[in-house]
Amino acid sequence: MQKSNKILVLNCGSSSIKYALFTADERELCHDIVENIDSNKTHTKAIQNILLSLQQQKYVSSYSEITAVGHRVVHGKDMTQNHIITKKIQKKIKEAGVLAPLHNPHNIEGIIAIQKLLPKIPNIAVFDTAFHTTIPEYAVLYGIPLSLSKKYYIKRYGFHGISYQYICEELKKKLGKIPGKLIICHLGNGSSICAIKNGKSIDTSMGFTPMEGLMMGTRCGDVDVGAVFHIAAMRKECRDIDHILNFESGLKGIAGTNDMRMIWKKTQQKNKTAQLALDMYCYRLQKYISAYSAVLGGIDALVFTAGIGENAWYVREKVCQSLSCLGITLDRKKNRENKEKIHTGKTKVYVIPTNEEKMIVREVGRLL
């Protein structure tokens, strides 16, 4: 691929489209988000406007400069690799929509829109799940009847794979190799953690859906399914429970906000629920780091990334405080300054910004 070629990255959600334009050598030219997508302002119309604005703002002089579009596709089901989107792959992405009804149908809308608007250029699907297809069966399956797991494709798929792959590649660039026993904490509004052995995911906290695992901005994380049944029985209504667990729980459900900056500010004013939310968030993270260090047989490096991981020094400080048994001790000053290397102990601890869009562009380059 020539360096003058430009690659558009699309991340189509239910009500918004995030986009970014890159050169083929991974230089970002612009990024933005279009919100309020609905039946009037469809994905196709919004993408048409995005293309128009790229031209008006002179990021491209003609659409022919865009030589490929990389789509972030949340669910790839059993697809272990990213793909150029053929009819067959598109069908598979559509089928995986049963497993990710909040995401894949909108990813497909974005793909169809580009096929209409820029019919000659290749579309590439980069999956959030592909990175985790190396997780062994005993860690992937849930303790429910095997027949049910098989019939309904119930298993741990994991998400944030594009981010984990990016961090692994950054570590390889910086250190010359990916640490053999690595734990990455992707702490954004959606939060997850991944145990990576010799560059391969061997376990991750998100599961069949992104709801499992760490407590998140608005998602509950691990919760006893018995409690969910009980809530449903008491409310005599279960349609809204999915919404409660996805959008009204986590930090927001405890402290009333999912903005970690606000929660920190409130803890400084001695707000009790904000302190509780922060304590719960950090405790869950500590437990997972300890568990993953056990399944890895030790830990060489711990990485924090995404909005909270990259910025909230108080979360890193609190989480690492009780992990000295794993050789994790922080340089307080460097941690508070969000420096890249923040350890003093034998286990390396890094703060590395993630860049999922850049990873998608890299994959587009590899596939073409």
Mapped onto helix, strand or coil, the DSSP state of residue 319 is helix
Show the DSSP H helices in the chain as ranges. Answer: 43-56, 87-95, 104-117, 137-140, 146-152, 161-175, 225-235, 241-247, 250-255, 260-268, 272-296, 306-311, 313-321, 332-336, 356-367
Q: How far is the CB of 256 from ligand ADP (least distance, A)?
A: 13
Closest residue to bound ligand ADP by CB: 307
Q: Which is nearer to ligand ADP, 189 or 286 (CB)?
A: 189
Q: Which of 78, 128, 222, 240 is catalytic?
A: 128
Q: 49 vs 189, which CB is nearer to ligand ADP?
A: 189
Q: How far is CA 329 from CA 221, 292, 311, 343, in A?
A: 27, 17, 18, 6
- Shortest Cβ distance from residue 188 to ligand ADP (Å)? 3
Positive/negative CA dihedral, 331, 177, 353, 210 = negative
Q: Which is nearer to ligand ADP, 309 or 365 (CB)?
A: 309
* Strand-strand pairing, 66-73 and 181-187: unpaired
> Which residue, among 195, 61, 89, has the nearest Cα to 132 in the 3D structure?
195
Residue whose pair of structure tokens reads 């000053």 in the numeric block? 333
Tokens matching residue 3: 């360096």
Please, what is the minimum distance in Å from the beta carbon of residue 259 to ligand ADP? 4
Closer by beta carbon to ligand ADP, 51 or else 73: 73
CB of 305 to ligand ADP, least distance (A): 8
Residue 10 token pair = 């699309």
- Of the pair 11, 347, the CB lying nearest ligand ADP is at 11
266 Ramachandran zone, left/alpha/beta (phi>0; psi -120 to 50): alpha
Provide the sign of the torsion angle of the four alpha carbons 357, 361, 366, 368, taken in this order: positive
Q: Name the residue among 306, 245, 249, 254 with its Cα closest to residue 280.
A: 254
Longest distance between any two alpha carbons in the chain, whole Å: 61
128 belongs to the catalytic site: yes
What is the DSSP pairing of strand 301-305 with strand 181-187?
parallel
Residue 116 CB coordination number (10 Å): 11
Is there a contact between 308 and 187 (Cβ–Cβ < 8 Å)? yes
Residues engaged in binding ligand ADP (CB under 6 A): 188-190, 217, 258-261, 306-308, 311-312
Q: Give least dist CB 116 to ligand ADP, A.
A: 28
- Toward ligand ADP, which CB reaches closer, 161 or 217? 217
Closest distance to ligand ADP from the beta carbon of 57 (Å): 24
Nearer to ligand ADP, 89 or 260 (CB): 260
Pairing of strands 181-187, 191-197: antiparallel
Known catalytic residues are 128
